[in-house]
Structure formats: C-alpha cells, structure tokens
Structure 1
Amino acid sequence: MRQLFLLLAFMPLAIPLARAQINLAGIVTDDKEQPLAGVTIIIRGTNIGTTTQDDGQFILQASGDLPLTISVSFIGYQRKDILVRGSNFRNIIVRLPEEAILTDEIVIAASRVPEDIQKASVTVEKLGIEQFQQSPAANPFDALQNVKGVDLLTQSLTFKSINLRGFGANNNNRFLQLTDGMDNRSPGLGFGFGNVAGISDLDIDNIELIPGASSALYGPDALQGLMLTSSKNPFTYQGLSVQLKVGANNFGKEDFGPKGFGDVAIRYAKEINSRFAFKVNFQRFSGTDFIADDYSDRQTRLRSNFFATDPNRGGIATGIGYLPNNNASTNFQYDGLNIYGDEISANGSSYTFPKDYANVLLQNKLVTRTGYTELELLGNNGKVFNNRANISLHYKLPGNIEASVGWYYGNGNFIRTAGFREYFPNYQRHQIKAELRGENFFLRAYTTQQQAEAWNIGQTAAAINNSWKSLGQWAAEFGQVYIDNKFIVGESRETADRGRYLPGTAQFNAVRDAFANTYNTDSVPGYRGARGMRFRDNSALWHYEGMYNLTKLLTVAEVIIGGSMRHYALNTGGTAVALKADGSEYTINEYGAYVQVSKELRISAVTVKPTVALRYDKNEYLNGGFTPRASAVVSIGQHNFRGSWQSAFRNPSPGQLFAVPVAGKAGEVGGLQSIAESAGLVSNPAYLDSDVNDFTAGRITESQLRSRAYSPTTFTTEKIKTWEVGYKTLIQDRLSIDAVYFHSKYTNFIAAQSFYQPANGQLTDFTTGAYRVLQINFNNTNEIFVNGWGVGAEYDLGRGFTLTGNYAHQIGTVTLRDAQGNVINDNAGDPIINRKMSNPEVAQKGRNFFNSPENRYNISLANPRLADRLGATLTFRWTDQTWFEQGTTAGDVWLPSWTSLDAQLSYKIPVWKSVVKLGGTNILNKYYTQGYGLARIGGLYYLSITFDELMR
C-alpha cells in the first residue's frame, strides 16, 4: 500500500493539460545536398522522435506551442539543433556536415536531465550506434572494453563483469547496471548479470557510463559508478531489423577447437498511429565457451612457505617464494588451477599423514587427490547458449506524455566465479516494467523475477572422489605403494586411483548428477548422508521510483526531486542464504529520496554551472545515511573544466547479510550477528588466516591469537568519498581531449576475508589441519585509498581517418588496522601505513582484493568511410600485470600483462539497407586471463550481416 501512495503522490504534478498537435515536416541532406536516410530527429527535452526516409524526408507530430527545438543526428555527421518556428515548421531544411569526431553528444546519466556531454560536471562516457558499428567487438556490451578505465572480467562468453577504479571483482556489486532504468542485478545473489539478461543487441540505442561515486542520484551500490543502457524507442526506430552472425573461437588448442558459434537477432517496431507503437525483440546465441583450461599448479597462500621471506627481518615477505610443480607424478601437493577435487585446502581433497606415520618420509606430509578438469565435470563440451527477448507497448498521452509497459526476458547457461566456480545450467529472468514519462517527470515500477539454480563445481568433484573411496582409504593406499615402490609419486597415485570413476562414463555421470541435482540442504540418497552441491536463488524484487523536474515552476534554478522504494523477497530455501529461525525466508525493504539543485551563471565569456545533490537511503537491517554531492563545471569557449566532491555507499548484498555455510563445510558467512551465531562463531570463534599463520610460526602467543578472534559487531554500509577534477576540450575541430584525476577514500570496507575455525574448538587444531575455512563478511577498520588519473584523446587525421587512444592509471593503498583500530605492523615490525596493496609485506597480512591493473591503454585507428561503402577499425589493447587475490580455492598470483589486437571491416549495401561486417578480437590468438582461475581468452572471429529498418 505504501508503494501505491508514493506513486499517487506524484500524479497531480505529473499530468499537465493537453496541448495542440503540430505536424512538423522537412528534409535532411549532407553538405552536398544529397538526402540522408535513417537520420534521427528528436524534439529537445522530450522522448518524441522519428527517423528520415530513403529520400531524407521526415514527418513528426509534436505537442505544444512553437517555437521548439529539434535535435538532428546521424552517424559520421555533426549533430545540429534546429529552431522550429511558425514560418518553417512544414518545410524544415537541415544540412549536416561530415564530422569525424563526435563532441556534441547529449547525456542523461550524469545529472538525470539531458545535457551536453562536454559540459557535464562529472566524468561520463557514452557509446552510441556509431561506436557499436565501428567497434571490432562482437557485441555492444563487449565494446565497453575500449572505454577509458574499464576492466572486463570474463566469467563466460556471455557473462562479463564491469570494473572501474579498483577492487575488480568477478561479481562486482559496487557497480550499478541499469537497463532502461531497471536494476540488472540478481535480487538474491546481489550482482549484475551483464549481458546474460540484457537488451537484444539490435535494440540498444546507447550506453552511458559514469565512473566513480554516484549514490547521490542513484542510491545504493553505485559506489564505483553506474552504466545506463537505453533501448530504442519504437516511435523513433521503426521497421524490421535482422542480424545474422557466425564465427569461431578456441583456436590453437590441442584436441579441442576451433569451435563455431551462431547469433541471430530480430527486431520489429511499428507505429500503428500517431499515438500507439510497439516493438518485439528476440536474440539467440549458441556456441562454445572460452575454456578454463590452465592446469598449472595453483599458487595460493594456503601452501606452506608461500611467500619468500627475509629471515633477518622477522620473516617479512619479499615476494612469492613458491615454485609451482606442474607434474602430478612428482608433486605431492599438485593442485591444478582448473582441476577440481585436488585442492590443498581443507575440503576433503587433501590428506596430511600423521606425525607418527610408519614411514618417516611421509610424516606430516600433505598429499592431494587426483582431480577432474572443468570440462570433464560439466560434461557438455563447453556448450553455451543465451536467449533474450522483449515486448514493449508505447502510448502517447496528451501533453507529451508517453506511457509504456514492457516485458524483458533473459535465459542462458554460464559459469560464475565467486569463492568457487559455479555452473548455472539454465538461468531464467523476467522483468516487467510500467512507466509514465513526460517532459519534466517520470514514474516507474518494475519487478524482477528469476529462476537460478547452480552447483558448486569444485565441491562436486571432491564429493565424486569421496563417494568412490574415502580420503583416508585413498591416502593409506597411496602411502603403502609409495613405500613399496621406492618413493615414486606417480605410481602411488595411479595405484590409489585404480577403479576411479572415469569422466564420461555412465557411472561418473550418475554420481555427478546425484550431487549436482541435490540441494546442499539435503542428503544425497544412497551416499551415507552426504550433502548435495546444488543451490537456488529464485528471489524477486519490486521497485518503485519517480522524479520531477521543478525548473519550469521555480525558474530561479534547475531543481529535481525524486524517490524510490524497493522490496526484496528472497527465495533460496536455505541453500544460498540462511532462513529465519521460524524457517521462513528473509525479506529486505529499502527506500530513499533525493534533491538536486543547479544554476548556470554567465560572467562575460565564462559560464559556470554549480550543482548540489543530496540523497537519504535506508535499509531495514542497517542504519540510514546521507550521500551528498557537490560539483561545478566552468566553460571558457571550447575549454570545459569540471570538479566534484562525491560520496556513495553500498548496502551489503543478501549473501553478505545472510549467507551461512552448510554445517561442517567451508563457505561464506554473512556479517549480521544472528548469522554468525547460527554458524557457531560465537561458541567456537574463528581467526584470520594471517593471524593463524603467525601463531603456528611462533610470532604471536596463544593469548594474543585469542584476543584477535572474530567477534560479530554492528554490520553497516560500505562508504566512499571521492573528489575529482577533469578537463574536456575540442581544439580546432580536430583534437578532442578528456582528462581526469581522482582520489577516493573507503570506510567500513566490506570484504570476505579467510578465517579458520578449529574443528574441535582447540587452537591445537590449527597444527593438525583440523579446521574449516570460512569467508566472513565484515566491515574492516582499514583506511583504503585509490588514486588515479586517465586521459582520452581523439584526433581527426583527415580523409575520414581518426586516431583514438586512452590511458588509465590507478593505485590502491591501505593502512591496516586490527579490530581495536590499532595500526598493524608487518613482520619486520614496521607499521603498514598507506602502502600499496600489491606489496608482498601487505598481502602477507591478509587479502585486500584490489585486483586491478595499475596501467592500461587502448589505441584505435578507424575510418567509417575508407572507400565509398567500406569502413575499417584497428584496435590495440594493453593491460598491465595485476596482483590478484581470488576466492576460497583459487589463489594469490601476479597475472601477467596481456595485449589484444582487434580489427573489423564493414561494407554497406544501401539497396538492402544492410551492413556486412568481418571482425575479430584478439586476432593474433595470444591467450590471456583477466582473473585467476577464469577462462583463458583467445581469438574470436565473426562475420555478420545486419539489415536495418526494412518494411518501414
């Protein structure tokens, strides 16, 4: 009922009186007076628009009084704003000169109202239809990898996570993705699914991206920025559009590949009359995923003596000292990166021989079992599919108001990497939205309903092994053969593995399916009480929001107000997050409201536009708070200087609030005190992994370790404060420059750190390996800073050629503090104050998960009119080496730097209204990984043909 009252409160302000209808008509040509087809015409300040016909003619119905302004834009040409008066409204003549560099884009995301991108007071990037067509990327979402400062982490071919300004994550819940204004995140899992359930490629009009704190206008979780993807309006973009794409990947792999893929997309939009229009979209992709097939010995701090240390300075880390041995026949502790069931962690895959074992060479020796590769466990040969669909109905009401209702559908399979690799065989999501939008307001209500079931790949592998033969029995056989056969590891493994379930056999598949299809809350029938490995998240959310622009009423300043309400209904059955004490599911309610005031001031040749925004938000489980933002842009001719101070916050995801592991197993634990109690962390405390290592090495005493036990306290929102300055200009209509510098400070940072919980509640359990590893979410007391800068430039070389490049640099530093707020010393006794998180002496004290390269750059040479109908783009991308800390089982490693050369050729066939495109990314096929344990990315090559606006 409260949600309905909020919507009704806006209605009196939202419905203006009906106005007279005016039919505008005209023609658009190039500067040689040749007609241009497909040019977009929009009435400024509204969502009313159309496109030109083959002869350049257009007709557009407008509501209101003249004069008014129309915005005319087309790929490769300069955008023009035309004043329409009573004398020319039936004969509007527009000539568009060619333009190699786009500098006059209109953006909305920066301030929620349309404004010139050059004069936005915060950093904003925009990709439109032109950039999508010229990009070598296989789809619009992948084109983001060429944007300044953007890092994509590829989980699956159809699932990539966007990261900005540090703390890269496979499931980035610090970055907000909006699709036609709707939150793209999973309601229960708490992260955006990227393009798994996004808009069909043919229906994407543009993508706007804001790096940095954005909560002042967008609320929770826009901590590192936001991305707004907007679809095409059926009143503006009409007719039948079809895209057919074929291609291949996985080249150069022995016994695997190359593998083909196919992608078909269809869009049809029709204006039935001047008031009613609809659109229908469908896209289907099927192919073979990039494969996680790095089988090298895992680098992880769980190994003894992992860090190289200086014994003369208290054992301070100087780097990684572990030397991987990739040969399982000689390595007791072989733990293949993308092999599962062989982990050295305490999950039933490794065995430590007793200190009094019969053979002295095996006493206290740890040995890992033989595991299974990811491909063997999935059993699908890497096949991946994705379906996306959309139906929208749009109706124009009097007063330039447009009502719409839409259904958005996404379906597919993919792998995501959290603490473990998890396989989603058939993800489905429905979003239904109703919206009312006018010149100065919008009202929006939508719901997200999903069906998401997945199983833990690594734990399933361990369960398969242990269901065949217990770990103790396998180790006993290994040890006996090792002694009898002259201490040969390989023969010992082979003997202990005799009769093992072989991948692809009916027996193997039956055991795998028994565990993968049984929920982790239930026992697997026929396996002596063993728990299943499946979890589900069929959660839902309902969201209501509205905004009103008061500028026309107040006149003295531009003022907007808005608010939102959200309700989460979790539905995991206790498999992903805990249930309440009475067995019911948790729900979460959030609400927020904001106001923004701005005023443009002209002082001679200088224009100054200050803006102030303030928002308040509240989550029912957390304290509420304000997030202010102050910014200004100063324009002197073509030179635009911007500066801002921003704040943002992030509510913990449902998992970070309520997650609890299955009894006795490793896993994630939520930060609420009630959850810690249900995980047994009050009666049997856990200890930070670095503290346990200090204790077992004799650097701290038993009493000191007990004083550092995890103690659940108040769990609160994660916060950030950022200031940044920037400069944007266009010099002599040939050189465009955009530069930015930023400084951010995090407080109450939420990170899931590794804690060890003793199995029997005794500290001696740590010396015998009798403990479980928990990833506990909590607000640490560290002071975290991220500093960075970036610059992008585009230069018109003439004859249609443009040279584009961007460079981004960022460094994360930390002052480490314990639970009492005291600065932590490194092992040499020096305080860790404002040091880089990638430094080994800092990493030695625990993970910080910055997971971001310090440097990266892109360079592109493009010409959309290389010949009469031919266009081409060549792009080179480079990313610096990255210190990466990943999950429970993945590890700690320096990822090497990597490069990618991308290219595309496109050819226009006007008579068919089509474009043929031949392209590829990483065309030299130099495999690289963007995160430890993720799939290796090689060359992807494609050929597409796109027919646009047929049957218009």
Structure 2
Amino acid sequence: MKKYFTLLSILMLCVAATLQAQNGGVKGTITDQANDVLIGANVSIKGTTTGTTSDTDGNFTLSPIDNGTYTLLISYIGYEEIEKSVTISGAIVDIGTITLNPSLLFLSNQIVVSGSRRAEKLTETPATIQVISSKQIEELPSFNPGELLSRVKGVEYVRSGVAATGVNIRGFNSNFNAKNLQINDGRYATLIATGLPFGPLGTIIKEDVDRIEVILGPNAALYGPNAHNGLVNTITKDPRSSEGTTFALGAGNQSMVTARLRHAQKINDKWAFKVTGEYTKGEEFEFADSVYIDRLDANGNPGPDGVKEGYEELELDNDFNFMRGSAALYYSLNDDADIIASWGGSNSTYLAPTNVGRNQIVDWKINYYSLKYASTHFFAQAYMTTSKTDDTYAIDERTKQYYRGIDAGLSDAEARGEQSYSSAAKFKDASQRYNAEVQYNNEVGNFSYAVGAQWQRDLANSKGTYLLDTDENDYIQIDQTGVYGQAEYKFGSGFKGTAAFRGDNHEIYGFNFVPKLGIVKTVKDGAFRLTYGQGIAAPTILNMYGNLFGGLILGNSDGFTLADGTKVEKQGVEKIQSYEIGYKGQASKKLFVDANAYYNISEDFLSPVTVVGVTTERGSVPTSQVQAAYGIYGGLVATYVNFGQVNTYGFDLGLNYQLAKHVTMNFNYSYFNYSVDEDNLEENDFNKDGVVNKLDVLVNAPKNKFGIGINYSDGKFFGNIFTRWVEEYDYFSSYQIAAKTQDLTYRGTPVVENSRSTDTYNYGPLGGFVNVDLGLGYHINDTFTMSGQITNLFDAEFREFTASPFIGRLYSVELKINLGKK
C-alpha cells in the first residue's frame, strides 16, 4: 500500500509540475509617449502564431505559455515595434508598462481592419490598403483631414474649392460619383437619395479621427454592395484610450476661421464618453460659372441664329460654413464586450459641383443615431440616418429661369422670386435610412471565419422637388438585404488563403452575388498577395426615381418606350472583375515598399444623365402623366442607362525611406490606362455617333501622377513639404467638359479649349500641374502646439475639377490646446 501511495504522490507531483509549466504566462500594459493606453495593441511570441491584444485599459495577458525564454513582439499601428525578452517559469510574469514610440515609417506590423472586417497585419491583408495614421492627422494644420488623401497612392484627389475635396479610384470619375463607398465607424456615410459620400456634410471633426483606411479597387466586399472603385473607412478614437480635452483654433486667408473641441473621459471601469464640436466658416475662391441661355428679343423671338448667350450665376454666394458635432457613451459589459450609443450631426452651407452646374447647398442637415454591441466574437449594430434641407437649389437652372422671367416681362424682383425656382430649381430633402447588421467571427487553429447579415431600408423624400414623390408624406421606400462571409486558412510556410462572398437582394435591381479569392505569402517583414475580386455599383434612388427640371430628367427604375417603339431597358448594376498582384513590406530597415498591379474588366456602366429621345411611356405609365413639363418637352427625356465593356489596367508604387533619425521621404506613383473594343458599336458606342472613342468610355482620369514628400518630426518640431504632379487629362461628365482642342464633337459642339461648349465653358483639360504644400509645427509644451500650412505654395493657377474655381494659394495657422487626461 505504501508503495502505491508513493507512486501516486510522485504522479501527482509530475502532474502539478506539468500544470505549473503550462500555466505560466506574461502580462503588462501598453501606452504611448503621452502615457495614453493603446487599445488593441498586438502582443505575440516571435516565430509563432501565439498572441493576444491589449484591452480597453491597455492591459494584456498572454497564457498559458510553457516554461522557457521567449521574444515578445509588441506593435500598434503607427508606432515602432518593440521586441522584449521574457523568461517564463511556471507563473505569470509582469513586464510592467511598455511605451511605444511613434513610427516615421509605415512598418509591416501595422494593424488594419478594412480588408476583412477583423484585425490583421497590413502586409497580410489580401487587398491594397493605404493608411492615414493618427500622427499624420494630428500634425495636419487644417480642419479637413480629407486633404491627406492627396498624399495616398492610387487615389485621384481633386480639390473643388477651399473646403470641398473629393476622391476617386482607378478611373470613371464624374461630378456625381457614387462609386466609392464611404464608411464612418462601420456606418454608411452616404446621402440617401443620391448615394454620394457625405464629404463636407460629414459629422466627424479632425481631432476625433484615429485613422483613415483606404482600399483601392473592389476588395471590400464585406462592407456593402457599392464598394466598386474603393472604400474610404474613417475610424474614430475610443475615449478610454484618448482621455482629455482638446481645443483647436485656426484662421487663414479666404476669411477662414475654425474652432473645434473634443472631450473624452473614462468615468470608471464600466463607463466612458466623448463629445465633439466644430464651427468653421470662410469664403470660396472668386469664380462665377457661365450659364448659357436662349434669350428672346423685344418681340419675343429667339436671339440671332438661336445662339445661347453666357451669363454669370445668379446671386452667387461664396460664403461657406459648417457646424458639426457628436457624442458617444461607452459601457463595458466585461473585458471583452462593449455597448456603444452615439449620435452625430452637421449643418452645412457651401457650393457643390454637379453634372449640370453648381448647387448652392443651404443648411443641409445630417444626423445619425447608432447603437452598437461589440465583443470578441459578436458584432451587432442598428442605426438611423436622416438628411434634411429646404432651401438648396441648382444655381444653373435658377439663373436660366430668372432670365426667362425677364424675357416674359417680369420685373427684376419678380424674376428673382418664386419665378426663378418655378422649373424645380429648388431641392428639398427629408429622407431617412435605417440599417441593421449582425456578425459572428471565430478562429479555430489555423482557420478563421466571419459571417454576417445586413438590412437597409431607404425612405427617400424630396417633398416633390427632385424625385418622383409628391409631397412630404410620400416616401419612396426601398428595402435591401445582404449576407456575407469570409474564411481564412493558414497553410503553413507563410501561406494564407482567403475566400469571401457577398450576396445582396435589392427591391428594384434584384439579386447579385460577389465573390473574392486571395492568397498571401508572408516573407521576412513583408508579404506578396494575389487577389481576384468582383464588385458592383448599384443605381442610386436618384438614378431610379429622379424627377428634375419638370421631368426633363427622369429616373430609370422601369424602363422607357421611345416614340418609334424602341425599348430602353431599366437601369441595372454596373459590374467589375479585378485581378491584382502586390507586395507590401520592409525591403530594408529603412525602406518600406508598397507595390501593386491590377487588371479590371468593367461592364454595364452606369451612364451619366443622357438624352434617350422622345418617349411615350415610362414603364407602363404614359410619359404625359409623369413629365410635369410635358407641354414644353413633349416627352423628350434624359435618363440613366447601362452600356459597354472596358478593360482597365495599371500599377501603383509607394516608397517610404528613413533619411535620418527624424526625417523620412515618401514617394508614390500611379499609372492608369484602358482598352476598349472599338469595333463593338452595339455595346460601346454610347453616344450613337457611329464610332467608339473617349466620348463613349468617359475614363476621366490621368494616366500618370506622382507625389513626393519630406517629413520631419523630433518630438518638438514637425514639418513636411509635399509635391504633387498630375498629368493633363480630358474630362467629360454630362454638361461638364474640360478638354484640349481636338477633332471631336461633344453634345453637338466642337471640342475647343477656352471657348463655350454646348452648356458650359471649356477652360481646357484638368491636371497638367505641379502643386507644392508646406506645413510646419512646434509643440511648445505638453499643452500648447502651434502649426501652420501653405497649400499651393507658389500660387500656381490650376483647376482640379469642373464647375469649380481655379485653386489659388491657401494658408492657415492653428493653435491646439491639449489639457490632457482628467
């Protein structure tokens, strides 16, 4: 018996020793230089897949770990990676607080979420993702973080004024471009009726932006059906890792003044909140677009030879102002689950370019209300978005109607009054959108997956002004549902495979399935990737139910019948297939390389508004019952259709090099081109002139562009100088034209530079400029920072977009007051 007891004791001691060896681990806290905790920082054992992330207090625990000596890799996006040796001996080892320093290079250990809706290394995501870090945003002396998109490779950036900026990706831009999906903290940030990105209507202030992730091409299938050309994902700060109060005061030329406030506070281990606010105002560059009008003489007859005369826009208001703010309340159910309630709103007045001149945006209000649940494996959210304006109007159409009133014998006051809006020049909006989403993700060994479902209900209401609704109680309701899934498997030897899908069912344009496949090979400090993906661009509510200028422009949700009996099919989705190969990683300790090449096949383009001819029916309804101004137009309709197939291809190259301890250089270059079957007149001859050329394809993008910048940051001083070159290119978008003189006719008028086109003035091609921006700043102490910038340093005169002014020099200064933690 004693013998057995001795053996049992020895066995128990062995088991205890084994359990002790397996129950060791390591814990610690991760912060930045300002002693703010870093949430979601990565901690892993070098050479293995074992790892964890820091929690809302910056704390982490990695266990169980067998006894031994290991090297920990600790990393966070925008910060330098740290290696720390630790010895485990049957207990949890506390390594204390680890402080990460900001990185001047875009290191290969950066973590992103936009590629697969889960955290992964930037180099290992099967998509081309560009990141604008919190450090870049913090050191930008401007109220508009969108300006930094001009420094991102592969992005076609345009500035249409002092405050308005826009982006496109890989061609086919227009003055009404809804093909780039904009997301803010997982919410769609697009207008309900037009599908356009919020842009200046946004609710987020610069001080609350943690980072911006940009996906090039249709590789964001998990986010939504309209991530066609790309995705811009803005992620805001968590108040638990960014406590404190920040004031920002700025001023500049064009009478620009801005004031911004952010306060974030962790109340206790369960509760935290943040509030933000901004007021910015200024004056747009002096510019009046030409409006061409058929005038009548004193006897009521058309002018000589029916020639249109050009006039400046009526009562042009160059002042702009923006008010925006937000509030969010965070509640931690436990260490792994949060409930977040948030609101954001804005009120904006500014000038906006469109396909038919400029719109005067007047007091356009955006609001969202969101409730979100997030845990290790589950994510759910529900949110409502509202859009409201009562006084926005189309300047071009109002100007035309004013002169028509004058020709009809009205006084100036009468012509400027309601008469000037009588052809539906005024746009009202009282639309709503409801969204809900649920997602589950998990990881089992080398296999990880995510599945989710989304629901959306659009309730569009224009109060009978620009949609086919009738009054403020008549909503155009459209429902759509989507399901998505993604699976990843690590095969070993550095290989990872990804398969994803998205299926969407839309009430009007039906069901669409979008797949994605990718493989990533990780090598030392980098990775190669090969990806195949599909995407769609869906018609917007305006495309389907538009009703502009007395029914001259009608939406195409039901098709049309022409006077000769020809059928015009209802508009469907635009489709794209994309093949992409790329590499991203550190080629050396001081050099980071990001390169990709792609080939796209696009078909069934969503056309700009185009005249289809005299119609007799819209769907099964006579045109005379739909077109309010049938007595004037007689059934002549402009609408939106699908057409053509075009292949596009190109490559992007980005380099970041550390020149010295505090100095880096970044360089980016992009090439873009296309091919089209010029013999396929049936599909590709969009304007039906018997030949396929650039007026059918409407690529609207430069072939070549590059940027080069030098950045300095030493903890006290910071500064950068950035030079951008964009090759000259022709641009055509409905009424808008910007092109060199050539043997072409656009909308019935020869294409001649610096002369009148059919509906607007052709100032010549876009691009063809070199722009230099300079920024400087100084951290006076932990509380005060002074900075300033000059955009277009040498005051070069150039025009980046149609229906927009020539961009002159802009300069601004900013004082930031950071009161730190509370």
TM-score of the two chains, using structure 1 as the length reference: 0.72
Q: What is residue 721 of structure 1 aligned with on the other side? A: 577
Q: What is residue 242 of structure 2 aligned with on the other side? A: 237
Confirm or deny: 8 A CA contact 2:203 2:366 kept in the other structure.
no
Residue from 691, 699, 703 that aligns with 1:850 = 699
Per mean C-alpha deviation after superposition, the further-off stretch among 155-164 and 725-734 is 155-164
TM superposition shift of 1:411: 1.1
Does residue 787 of structure 2 align to residue 931 of structure 1? no
Residue from 133, 136, 154 that aligns with 2:159 = 154
Does residue 267 of structure 2 align to residue 272 of structure 1? yes
Q: CA 1:853–1:822 in 2, change beyond 3 Å: closer, same or farther? A: closer
Q: What is residue 402 of structure 2 aligned with on the other side? A: 464
Confirm or deny: 8 A CA contact 2:359 2:393 kept in the other structure.
yes
Secondary structure of the structure 1 residue equivalent to 2:222: helix
Q: CA 1:822–1:292 in 2, change beyond 3 Å: closer, same or farther? A: closer
Secondary structure of the structure 2 residue equivalent to 1:465: helix
Q: What is residue 810 of structure 2 aligned with on the other side? A: 940
Residue from 524, 532, 556 that aligns with 1:671 = 556
Residue from 645, 650, 667 that aligns with 1:788 = 650
Q: What is residue 492 of structure 2 aligned with on the other side? A: 602
Residue from 331, 339, 349 that aligns with 2:290 = 339
Residue from 129, 135, 142 that aligns with 2:134 = 129
Q: CA 1:165–1:549 in 2, change beyond 3 Å: closer, same or farther? A: same
Does residue 608 of structure 2 align to residue 755 of structure 1? no
- Coordinate RMSD, CA, aligned: 3.5
Alpha-carbon separation, structure 2, partners of 1:151 and 1:550: 37
Alignment of 1:385-534 (within 5 A): 385-398=321-334, 400-420=336-356, 421-453=358-390, 454-470=392-408, 501=412, 507=413, 511-515=415-419, 530-534=422-426
Q: What is residue 535 of structure 2 aligned with on the other side? A: 648
CA deviation digits over 1:437-477, x for unaligned, max 9?
A: 0112210111101103421111111111121223xx9xxxx
TM superposition shift of 1:545: 0.7
The one-letter code matched in structure 1 to 2:396 is G
Confirm or deny: 8 A CA contact 2:590 2:657 kept in the other structure.
yes
Confirm or deny: 8 A CA contact 2:144 2:163 kept in the other structure.
no
Confirm or deny: 8 A CA contact 2:584 2:595 kept in the other structure.
yes
Does residue 598 of structure 2 align to residue 742 of structure 1? yes
Alpha-carbon separation, structure 2, partners of 1:560 and 1:81: 32
Per mean C-alpha deviation after superposition, the further-off stretch among 231-240 and 154-163 is 154-163
TM superposition shift of 1:599: 0.8
The one-letter code matched in structure 1 to 2:705 is R
Residue from 639, 650, 671 that aligns with 1:809 = 671
Confirm or deny: 8 A CA contact 2:609 2:734 kept in the other structure.
no
Structure 2: where are the runs of 5+ without partners?
A: 1-24, 43-50, 67-71, 618-631, 736-758
Alpha-carbon separation, structure 2, partners of 1:574 and 1:598: 49
Q: What is residue 256 of structure 2 aligned with on the other side? A: 261
The one-letter code matched in structure 2 to 1:394 is Y
Does residue 434 of structure 2 align to residue 547 of structure 1? no
Q: What is residue 753 of structure 2 aligned with on the other side? A: none
Confirm or deny: 8 A CA contact 2:608 2:733 kept in the other structure.
no
Q: CA 1:67–1:291 in 2, change beyond 3 Å: closer, same or farther? A: farther
TM superposition shift of 1:405: 0.4
TM superposition shift of 1:561: 0.5
Q: What is residue 557 of structure 1 aligned with on the other side? A: 447
Point out the structure with the larger strand share: 2
The one-letter code matched in structure 2 to 1:145 is S
TM superposition shift of 1:787: 1.0
Q: What is residue 226 of structure 1 aligned with on the other side? A: 231
TM superposition shift of 1:127: 0.8
Residue from 92, 106, 120 that aligns with 2:96 = 92
TM superposition shift of 1:731: 2.2
TM superposition shift of 1:621: 0.9
TM superposition shift of 1:918: 1.4
Does residue 526 of structure 2 align to residue 636 of structure 1? no
Instruction: Give the percent of matched residue pairs that are identical in Structure 1 and Structure 2.
Output: 20
Alpha-carbon separation, structure 2, partners of 1:760 and 1:741: 48
Alpha-carbon separation, structure 2, partners of 1:96 and 1:770: 67
CA deviation digits over 1:161-202, x for unaligned, max 9?
A: 221000112332111000111111111122112142231111
TM superposition shift of 1:711: 2.5
TM superposition shift of 1:601: 2.0
Alpha-carbon separation, structure 2, partners of 1:731 and 1:618: 44
Secondary structure of the structure 2 residue equivalent to 1:673: coil
Q: CA 1:462–1:714 in 2, change beyond 3 Å: closer, same or farther? A: closer
Does residue 723 of structure 2 align to residue 876 of structure 1? yes
Q: CA 1:847–1:46 in 2, change beyond 3 Å: closer, same or farther? A: farther
Confirm or deny: 8 A CA contact 1:135 1:873 kept in the other structure.
no
Q: What is residue 18 of structure 2 aligned with on the other side? A: none
Q: What is residue 284 of structure 1 aligned with on the other side? A: 279
TM superposition shift of 1:812: 3.1
Q: CA 1:46–1:270 in 2, change beyond 3 Å: closer, same or farther? A: farther
TM superposition shift of 1:916: 1.1
Confirm or deny: 8 A CA contact 1:155 1:170 kept in the other structure.
no
Secondary structure of the structure 2 residue equivalent to 1:882: coil
Alpha-carbon separation, structure 2, partners of 1:63 and 1:904: 41
Confirm or deny: 8 A CA contact 1:285 1:385 kept in the other structure.
yes
Confirm or deny: 8 A CA contact 2:345 2:365 kept in the other structure.
yes
The one-letter code matched in structure 1 to 2:478 is I
TM superposition shift of 1:722: 0.5
Confirm or deny: 8 A CA contact 1:847 1:885 kept in the other structure.
no
CA deviation digits over 1:87-134, x for unaligned, max 9?
A: 566551436577431312100001111111122221001111112234
Secondary structure of the structure 2 residue equivalent to 1:550: strand
Does residue 536 of structure 2 align to residue 536 of structure 1? no
Secondary structure of the structure 2 residue equivalent to 1:938: coil
Q: CA 1:640–1:134 in 2, change beyond 3 Å: closer, same or farther? A: same
Alpha-carbon separation, structure 2, partners of 1:80 and 1:243: 36
Q: CA 1:457–1:97 in 2, change beyond 3 Å: closer, same or farther? A: closer
Residue from 173, 182, 186 that aligns with 1:181 = 186
Q: CA 1:469–1:83 in 2, change beyond 3 Å: closer, same or farther? A: farther
Q: CA 1:455–1:398 in 2, change beyond 3 Å: closer, same or farther? A: same
Confirm or deny: 8 A CA contact 2:702 2:729 kept in the other structure.
yes
CA deviation digits over 1:329-377, x for unaligned, max 9?
A: xxxxxxxxx122x34xxxx4589999xx9xxxx9972333452x33x52
TM-score of the two chains, using structure 2 as the length reference: 0.83
Secondary structure of the structure 2 residue equivalent to 1:463: helix
Secondary structure of the structure 2 residue equivalent to 1:217: coil
Secondary structure of the structure 1 residue equivalent to 2:399: helix
Q: CA 1:500–1:275 in 2, change beyond 3 Å: closer, same or farther? A: same
TM superposition shift of 1:672: 2.1
Confirm or deny: 8 A CA contact 1:609 1:633 kept in the other structure.
yes
Alpha-carbon separation, structure 1, partners of 2:724 and 2:636: 38
Q: CA 1:653–1:817 in 2, change beyond 3 Å: closer, same or farther? A: farther
Secondary structure of the structure 2 residue equivalent to 1:459: helix
The one-letter code matched in structure 2 to 1:798 is A
Secondary structure of the structure 2 residue equivalent to 1:462: helix
TM superposition shift of 1:222: 0.4
Alignment of 1:566-645 (within 5 A): 566-579=456-469, 584-603=474-493, 607-645=494-532
Structure 1: where are the runs of 5+ without partners?
A: 1-21, 30-34, 51-58, 249-258, 294-337, 474-498, 502-506, 519-529, 677-681, 686-705, 762-768, 833-841
Alignment of 1:776-925 (within 5 A): 776-780=639-643, 782-815=644-677, 821=683, 832=692, 842-843=693-694, 846-865=695-714, 869-888=716-735, 889-890=759-760, 893-912=764-783, 914-925=784-795
The one-letter code matched in structure 2 to 1:276 is W
TM superposition shift of 1:738: 0.7
Alpha-carbon separation, structure 2, partners of 1:271 and 1:824: 58
Confirm or deny: 8 A CA contact 1:215 1:615 kept in the other structure.
no
Aligned residues: 743
